[in-house]
Chain A
Amino acid sequence: MTPPIVGSTEQAVLRNFSIIAHIDHGKSTLADRMLQLTGVVEARAMRAQYLDRMDIERERGITIKSQAVRLPWVGRDGRDYVLNMIDTPGHVDFTYEVSRSLAACEGAVLLVDAAQGIEAQTLANLYLALANDMAIIPVLNKIDLPSAQPDKYAAELAHIIGCDPSDVLRVSAKTGEGVPDLLHAIVDLIPAPAGKPETEVRALIFDSVYDIYRGVVTYVRVVDGAIHARDRILMMSTGETHELLEVGVISPEPMPAAGLVAGEVGYLITGVKDVRQSKVGDTVTTVNKAATTALGGYQEPKPMVFSGLYPMDGSDYPDLRDALDRLKLNDAALVYEPESSVALGFGFRCGFLGLLHLEIVRERLSREFNLDLISTAPNVIYRVILDDEKEMIVTNPSEYPNGKVREVFEPMVKATVISPSEFIGSIMELCQSRRGSLLGMDYLSEERVEMRYELPLGEIAFDFFDALKSRTKGYASLDYEFTEEKSADLIKVDILLHGDPVDAFSAILHKDKAYNYGVAMAGKLKELIPRQQFEVPIQAAIGSRIIARESIRAIRKDVLAKCYGGDISRKRKLLEKQKEGKKRMKVVGRVEIPQEAFIAALSTNNGTEGKGTKG
C-alpha cells in the first residue's frame, strides 16, 4: 500500500488534532517525539522544541505561534494514516492561538505534567476544546520524573473530564515512552473529518504569516471540496480573488503538492504581500466553483493592555512605524496608532493581548529591527462617560479627562487560580487587595483547590502573577478570560515636574490607591532624576489637588576634581560621553530627564522583566 498522497487523502485515514496544555507541560517536546517517531525528522536533524522556530521562542523556551505539521503513521490495523498535529502555545496571552488551532481539528491531546497536575490553563484549554465539541485524549506527561505522581493526577484528570482514570494515557515526551501508544490512540479515538469532498471548496484560514521571501503564507483547513494548485481562489469576506502560486503541507518543512482535499490541513501562497488580504477566520473558496455560505470564523483577538512605545532617538520614528507594520503582518493581535507625548515625543500607542505579548513585541522590535525604545507603563482600556453623556475610550492615561466624568468603566476578568489548599487564605487576601470578588471554589482533590474570582484586569495584568507566585511558593497557576466591563471609582493621578505635567507618568487608578502611587512615584523620580541647575519640585496631583510632593535640590558643584596633565584625556572622554548621554535626555519644560529615569520609573515593580509573567 502506498501512503496517502497530499491532495487526494481519503478522509477516513485523516486525524487532525491539537496538543493543548498548561505552559511548560511539554507540548513542544511531545511534538518533537512525534516528529521523530513518524520519521519526518531524522534523529540527526532533531533539536529540542523543533517547532519553536523563532529566536525568541527558543531563548525563552516557550511557544508563541501554533505550528501545524503533517505526519504519516501506520495504525494498529496496518493502514497508512495521516495525522495533522498542531502544537499550540500555553501562555494565557496566546489563548486565541489555541482556539484558532482547535477550529482546524476534530480532537485534542490534553497534556498534563505528571509532577504538577492540573493547572489553570489546563482547565482553560479543556473548556475551549469542550466548547468546540472535540474528542479529548487525556495524557499525563513527564512520567520519567522522580517527582511524578501519575496515579494521583490521573484521578484528578479523570475527575474533571468525567472519564475513568485508566483512560488517562501516560507518556514521557522526553524519553518517548508511551508516545507510540498515544499515536495509536489518536487514530482510534479522534474522529476522521466528515466534510463533503465533492462540493464547492470551503477552507478555513486559521493562520496567516508573512514571510519575507514568499510573501503571505496562509494556513488552511479544507472542510469541503478540493483546492488545486492552479485554482484562482476567492476570499469570501472581501470578495477578493488571487492566483494560487503554491499549495502544500508542512512536514515539518514546506512541501508543495498538487492540491488539498476535504479534511486536509496545509498552506496556500498567492503572492499577496499583506496579511490583511488573507484574514484569519475567513473562508477560502475557488472562483469557478464558489461556495455560497462561509464557515464560522473566529472572534478577533482583542488587545487588552496598552502601552506607548517611543524611540529613544526621535529620528527613529519612521523606522519604528515600519517595524510595527512588519510585525503586524505576523501578529494580528497587535494594534497601534500614532500618538505624541510632551515628554517622549512621537511614538505609538500599542495594544497587546497581555504583558508577555507586550514584552515579546518590544523585544522583537529591539532585536529584529535594532530599535532602542522607551515603553510607558502599561495600562488597560477605560470607557468614560462624561457629564454631557458623551462617551470616550481611553487607552492612554494622559487623555483621561480632568473632571466632568460621570462614570468610568474598566475591563473585568474571570480568573481561575489553582493552588494547594494551604494557600487559600493568602490568595483570598491578595485578591481582596486587588478588588476581587470570589465567584466560587472547588476542590480538585483533597489538597488542591480551584478558586474563581472576578477581578479588574487593571489589577491583575501587571504584577499580580508575581505576587501570587510569591505567596504560594510558586505553586499557584492563574488563568483569566475577559467578561464584561464594570463601573468603578477611578481617577487619574498626574505627576508634575517643576510645575509641568509629564504625560508619560500619568496613571489611572482606583481612588484608594492614588495616594500610594503618588508618593511612590514622586520618591522614585527624586532618586532617578539628576540634580539640575535649579530646584525641581515633584508633585503628584489629582486634578488640581496635590497629593504628594518631593523636591530635587539644585546642583551646586560638579567639578572640583583636579585636572592636570594626566587627567585631560580622561576628562575630555568623560565629558564627550556625557554629551552623548545628554542628547538622549528628554527635556520637559527646562528639566532634563535621562532615558534611564523613564525606564526605571515606568517599569512596574517587577512586572515586565520576563520571568514572572507566565500565566
Chain B
Amino acid sequence: MVFTQRVPKELAGEVAPLNGALSESALASLPVADFGLYLHVPFCNVRCGYCDFNTYTSTELRGFRREDWANSIGLELDLAKRVIGDLPDIQTIFIGGGTPTLLPPGDFEKVFDNIESAFTSDIEITIEANPDTVTKESLSGYYKAGINRISFGMQSAVPSVLKVLDRTHDPKAVSQAVELAAEVGFKNISLDLIYGTPTETDNDWTESLLQALSLPINHFSAYSLIVEPGTKLHQQVKSGQVAPPDDDISANRYLIAESQALAHGFNWYEVSNWGKGGARCRHNEIYWQSGNWWGAGPGAHSHVGGIRWWNKKHPAVWAQDLASGDSPAAGREVLTPDQLMFEAVMLSLRTIGGLAVSRLENPNPLLGLAKDGLIDPKKLDQGHVVLTLEGRLLADLVLRTLMK
C-alpha cells in the first residue's frame, strides 16, 4: 500500500521575523489580557481517516524523536521569554494533539519546571487523551505533574460508527479511562464526540450521548463530522465509497445533543461545548475572547495583541529552527482594527456571553434576526446579542448578516 503523507496547506500570511519579535503595541496588551499556553504534541500511533490535525506517525517523523519534544518545547519557551520578557501570569495551559498521552508524565513535568513561577494559583492545565493510550499509572502521573483537566477523544460509543471514523479504540476503553481518571483525582473530565458520521443513526447518536453522560464527566464537546480536504475520508467521499455527511441530519443530531445535555444537567456555553455546574474550558475561552496565548510546538498558532502567527508544521523543521536559536514561525498576520473587530464578533457570537450590541457598527439587522428566531429577544432588550438554539446552528449566517 502506498501512503502519501498529507502535507497540510500553510496559511498565507506575511513572513515572520527570524527572532520572533513582536511590536511594542502587541506587547503592551500582555499585562492587561488573559494569557494561556498551548503545547502541541504532534504524535499519533495511527492517523484517523477524518483527521487533518498536524500530527505524525513514527514513520513520518523524519528523524525527529518523541523523546526530543520536551527539550524543543523548552527552547521555544525560552524564545517566548526573549520575545515577551518575563512571562505574564499563566492562567491556563492546554496540551493538545495529536496524542499527548503518548508522552510520559515526566516530559510535562520537565516543561512545567521552567515556567512554574508564572502559574496562577488556580491555573487550569488540560491534556487531550486517547482512551486506549492511558493506564492508571500514567493518568496518576499526569495528575501529579499538575495536570488537572483531561479530555478524552471518545467520538462515539457505537462500534460501527467508530469503524467508519477509522478509530482504533474499543468503546469500553472510554468508560474505563474515565473511571480511572476520576479515581486518580481528576475532577474535570471532558469527552469529545463526533456526530453526523455516515451510517450513524439518530439512535446511535443518542446512545453515544447517553453513555458519555453516564460517566463522571463535567464537560463535553460535540462536533459535526467535517470532511477535511486531503484526508482519507475525503477520498472515500469523493470516490463514492462513503456518503457525505448530510447537513439536515447533522442539524437534528445537534438538537438531540442539546436535549440530552439539558436532561443531564449540562448547559451550552459555546456552540460545540457543554458543561455541568458551570464547568468550562477556560483555555478555550481565551481563544473566544480574543485573549493572548503562546502556542508552542510544531504548527501551533499564537496570538498576542493583534498579531497572529503560526509555526512550521513538521516537528523536525520546527526543532531545527529552535536549535539554531531562531523563531520556528512560518508566517504571521498583523490584524487591522477591522479584522480584529470581525474576529471578536465572530468568536464571541459563538458563546453564551454573546456580544454587546454597542460593539456593532450597524445594529439594524438585529431586529430581523430576532424576528427570524436566531437571536434571543430578551437578551437583545438587555443590550446583548445571544444566539437561540436555532441561531447556534446558523451562527455564520448571523455573523454575515451583522457584518455586511
Query: A: which residues have CB within 8 A of B?
Result: 531, 533, 553, 555-566, 568-573, 575-576, 578-579, 582
Known: A559-B394, A571-B346. 7 other contacts (CB 8 A): A556-B251, A557-B251, A557-B254, A563-B347, A568-B308, A568-B346, A579-B403
CB < 8 Å neighbour of A558 from B287, B339, B372, B394: B394
Given A557-B247, A561-B223, A569-B394 contact (CB < 8 Å): no
Interface string of B366-404 (1 = CB under 8 A from A): 000000100000000000000000001111110110011
B223 in contact with A572 (CB, 8 Å) = no
CB < 8 Å neighbour of A555 from B38, B303, B394: B394
Chain B, residue nearest A576 (CB): B342
Q: Give the chain B neighbours of A578 by CB distance below 8 A.
A: 400
**Most chain B CB inside 10 Å of its own CB: which residue of A560, A569, A570:** A560
B226 in contact with A561 (CB, 8 Å) = yes
Q: Is B147 an interface residue (CB 8 A)?
A: no
CB < 8 Å neighbour of B396 from A553, A558, A573: A558
Shortest Cβ-Cβ A-B pairs, 5 listed: A560-B224, A556-B251, A557-B393, A566-B301, A557-B251
Tally the A-B contacts, defined by beta carbons under 8 Å.
Answer: 98
A-B contact pairs, 21 of them (CB 8 A): A533-B397, A556-B248, A556-B251, A557-B393, A558-B396, A559-B271, A559-B393, A559-B396, A560-B393, A561-B224, A562-B223, A565-B38, A565-B301, A566-B295, A566-B299, A568-B301, A570-B11, A572-B339, A572-B342, A575-B396, A579-B404
Question: Which applies to chain B's interface (DSSP): helix, strand, loop or mixed?
Answer: mixed
Complex Cα distance, B287 from A399, in Å, reads: 56
Chain B, residue nearest A531 (CB): B247
Q: Give the chain B neighbours of A553 by CB distance below 8 A.
A: 248
Complex Cα distance, B38 from A457, in Å, reads: 69
Interface string of B246-258 (1 = CB under 8 A from A): 0110110010000
Q: How far is the CB of B236 from chain A (nearest CB, A)?
A: 19
Q: Is B130 an interface residue (CB 8 A)?
A: no
Complex Cα distance, B399 from A363, in Å, reads: 37
CB < 8 Å neighbour of B343 from A560, A561, A566, A572: A572
Interface string of B314-352 (1 = CB under 8 A from A): 000000000000000000010000010011001100100
A558 in contact with B395 (CB, 8 Å) = yes
Q: Give the chain B neighbours of A565 by CB distance below 8 A.
A: 38, 287, 293, 295, 300-303
Kindly state the interface size class of chain B when it binds its partner.
Answer: 35 or more
Q: Give the chain A neighbours of B221 by CB distance below 8 A.
A: 562
Interface string of B214-226 (1 = CB under 8 A from A): 0000000101101
A558 in contact with B393 (CB, 8 Å) = yes
Q: Is B25 an interface residue (CB 8 A)?
A: no
Q: Give the chain A neighbours of B395 by CB distance below 8 A.
A: 558-559
Q: Is B284 an interface residue (CB 8 A)?
A: yes
Q: How far is the CB of B85 from chain A (nearest CB, A)?
A: 22
Chain A, residue nearest B397 (CB): A558
Q: Is B267 an interface residue (CB 8 A)?
A: no
Q: Is B310 an interface residue (CB 8 A)?
A: yes
Q: Give the chain A neighbours of B346 by CB distance below 8 A.
A: 568, 571-572, 575
Task: Mark out the residues of chain B between 146 and 200 whose CB falls within 8 Å of any chain A CB in the assembled complex.
Answer: none
Complex Cα distance, B293 from A418, in Å, reads: 75
Q: Give the chain A neighbours of B231 by CB distance below 8 A.
A: none
Chain A, residue nearest B96 (CB): A564
Q: How far is the CB of A579 from chain B (nearest CB, A)?
A: 7
Q: How far is the CB of A593 from chain B (nearest CB, A)?
A: 16
**Most chain B CB inside 10 Å of its own CB: which residue of A553, A559, A562, A570:** A559
B308 in contact with A560 (CB, 8 Å) = no
Query: B: which residues have CB within 8 A of A?
Result: 11, 13, 38, 221, 223-224, 226, 247-248, 250-251, 254, 271-272, 284, 287-288, 293, 295, 299-303, 308, 310, 333, 339, 342-343, 346-347, 350, 372, 392-397, 399-400, 403-404
Q: Give the chain B neighbours of A562 by CB distance below 8 A.
A: 221, 223, 272
Q: How far is the CB of B252 from chain A (nearest CB, A)?
A: 8
Complex Cα distance, B302 from A571, in Å, reads: 15
Q: Give the chain A neighbours of B295 by CB distance below 8 A.
A: 565-566
Q: Give the chain A neighbours of B310 by CB distance below 8 A.
A: 566, 569
Given A556-B247, A556-B393, A572-B342, A564-B284 contact (CB < 8 Å): yes
Q: Give the chain A neighbours of B333 by CB distance below 8 A.
A: 569
Chain A, residue nearest B390 (CB): A556
Q: Give the chain B neighbours of A559 by CB distance below 8 A.
A: 271, 350, 392-397
Q: How far is the CB of A553 from chain B (nearest CB, A)?
A: 7
Chain A, residue nearest B223 (CB): A562
Q: Give the chain A neighbours of B343 by CB distance below 8 A.
A: 568, 572
A557 in contact with B394 (CB, 8 Å) = yes
Q: Give the chain B neighbours of A555 by CB distance below 8 A.
A: 247, 394, 397
Complex Cα distance, B399 from A362, in Å, reads: 37
Q: Give the chain B neighbours of A579 by CB distance below 8 A.
A: 400, 403-404
Chain A, residue nearest B286 (CB): A565
Q: Give the chain A neighbours of B287 by CB distance below 8 A.
A: 563-565, 568
Q: How far is the CB of B11 from chain A (nearest CB, A)?
A: 6
Complex Cα distance, B247 from A553, in Å, reads: 11
Complex Cα distance, B399 from A571, in Å, reads: 12
A569 in contact with B347 (CB, 8 Å) = no
Q: How far is the CB of A498 from chain B (nearest CB, A)?
A: 15
A560 in contact with B250 (CB, 8 Å) = yes
Q: How far is the CB of B257 from chain A (nearest CB, A)?
A: 10
Q: Give the chain A neighbours of B38 by CB distance below 8 A.
A: 565
Q: Give the chain B neighbours of A564 by CB distance below 8 A.
A: 284, 287
Chain B, residue nearest A574 (CB): B396
Q: How far is the CB of B395 from chain A (nearest CB, A)?
A: 4
B308 in contact with A557 (CB, 8 Å) = no
Q: Give the chain A neighbours of B302 by CB distance below 8 A.
A: 565
Q: How far is the CB of B126 from chain A (nearest CB, A)?
A: 12
Complex Cα distance, B248 from A553, in Å, reads: 10
Q: How far is the CB of A165 from chain B (nearest CB, A)?
A: 59
Complex Cα distance, B389 from A255, in Å, reads: 79
Q: Give the chain A neighbours of B394 by CB distance below 8 A.
A: 533, 555-559
Q: Give the chain B neighbours of A563 by CB distance below 8 A.
A: 271-272, 287-288, 347, 350
Complex Cα distance, B288 from A508, in Å, reads: 55
Q: How far is the CB of A523 from chain B (nearest CB, A)?
A: 19
A533 in contact with B372 (CB, 8 Å) = yes
CB < 8 Å neighbour of B301 from A531, A560, A569, A582: A569
Q: Give the chain B neighbours of A531 by CB distance below 8 A.
A: 247
Q: Give the chain A neighbours of B303 by CB distance below 8 A.
A: 565, 568
Q: Give the chain A neighbours of B13 by CB distance below 8 A.
A: 569
A582 in contact with B248 (CB, 8 Å) = no
Complex Cα distance, B396 from A578, in Å, reads: 10
Q: Give the chain B neighbours of A568 by CB distance below 8 A.
A: 287, 301, 303, 308, 343, 346-347
Q: Give the chain B neighbours of A570 by CB distance below 8 A.
A: 11
Complex Cα distance, B310 from A570, in Å, reads: 12
CB < 8 Å neighbour of A557 from B11, B224, B299: B224
Complex Cα distance, B272 from A588, in Å, reads: 34
Chain A, residue nearest B308 (CB): A569
Chain A, residue nearest B303 (CB): A565
**Most chain B CB inside 10 Å of its own CB: which residue of A562, A565, A575:** A565
Q: Give the chain A neighbours of B399 by CB distance below 8 A.
A: 575
Q: How far is the CB of B144 from chain A (nearest CB, A)?
A: 27
Complex Cα distance, B246 from A556, in Å, reads: 11
Q: How far is the CB of A536 from chain B (nearest CB, A)?
A: 15
Q: Give the chain A neighbours of B251 by CB distance below 8 A.
A: 556-557
Q: How far is the CB of A71 from chain B (nearest CB, A)?
A: 56
Complex Cα distance, B346 from A443, in Å, reads: 73
Q: Give the chain B neighbours of A582 by CB distance below 8 A.
A: 400
